[in-house]
Amino acid sequence: MEINISGVNKKYGKKTVLNNLELTGTSGDCIGIIGRNGTGKSTLLSTLAGVIRPDSGSFMIDGQNAFINDTIRHSEVAYVPQGTPLIEELSALDNLKMWYDADDMKKSLEDGFLHLLGINDFLDVTVNKMSGGMKKRLSIGCAINNNPSILLLDEPTAALDIICREAVYDYFKAFREKGGILIIATHVIHEISKCSKTYILKDGSLKPYIFNDDVSGLLKEI
């Protein structure tokens, strides 16, 4: 699989948030988007997910433009925003039932990605009684119901404890090994080091960046 994001622009009034963005990726890539708060990382992911309409540009997935082809976007792209779009009064199991058919959910809980995310451990817990880590893992679990090839994640491990973070990282590794493409907006240095490609979003533009564990150098760039 190949993705090619080209000429993506987005303005809010007179403010340019995304300015002629360019980005490429292939199967197995983990693409990190880094930058200061308010630079447009969430806007970029929301635009790729179809939540926000770009002013111009293309998001090509194996030669098809996902900005104008809803079918390809729905079948190939999943999005996990910063918040947790779950129904607070329902259990983890009942939230999953809203996204999965019974057979697919059972199989995934037994030996698939839902099992890898550890959701079996809290199936009967209602969302309003879950920790932040449980909510994030469940949000990812709901998002991947259609076996997407491209997963967009906004601050996927923010505020997670070490155990929950490692469970999510294990899932990322398995997803990439199956040929998936991850695009992650993050501030976490450890996550940046795991990425095969890194881009800095600054002043509305994306700049490729090679991260070599030089944190001070990264801070100067952003």
pLDDT in tens, 164-215: 888 888 889 999 999 999 999 998 888 888 899 999 999 999 999 887 777 7
CATH of 2-85+148-221, picked from 3.10.310.10, 1.10.599.10, 3.40.50.300, 3.30.360.10, is: 3.40.50.300
SS3 readout for the chain: CEEEEEEEEEEECCEEEEEEEEEEEECCCEEEEECCCCCCHHHHHHHHHCCCCCCEEEEEECCEECCCCHHHHHHHEEEECCCCCCCCCCEHHHHHHCCCCHHHHHHHHHHCHHHHCCHHHHCCCEHHHCCHHHHHHHHHHHHHHHCCCEEEEECCCCCCCHHHHHHHHHHHHHHHHCCCEEEEECCCHHHHHHCCEEEEEECCEEEECCCCCCHHHHHHHC
The SS3 call for residue 101 is: coil
**57 phi and psi, to 5 degrees?**
110, 180
- Higher per-residue pLDDT: 8 or 168: 8
Reported confidence tier of residue 158, pLDDT bands at 50, 70, 90: confident
The structure's pTM equals 0.90
Q: Return the amino acid letter for 186.
A: T
Q: Return the amino acid letter for 57.
A: G
DSSP class of 198: E
CA gap 62, 28 in Å, rounded:
14
Give the pLDDT score at 65: 97
Please write the tens of the pLDDT for every residue from 46-101: 999 999 999 999 999 999 999 999 999 999 999 999 877 899 999 999 999 999 99
Domains of the chain, by residue range, sit at 2-85+148-221
CB 57 within 8 A of CB 23: no
> Does the pLDDT value for residue 219 go beyond 80?
no
The SS3 call for residue 201 is: strand
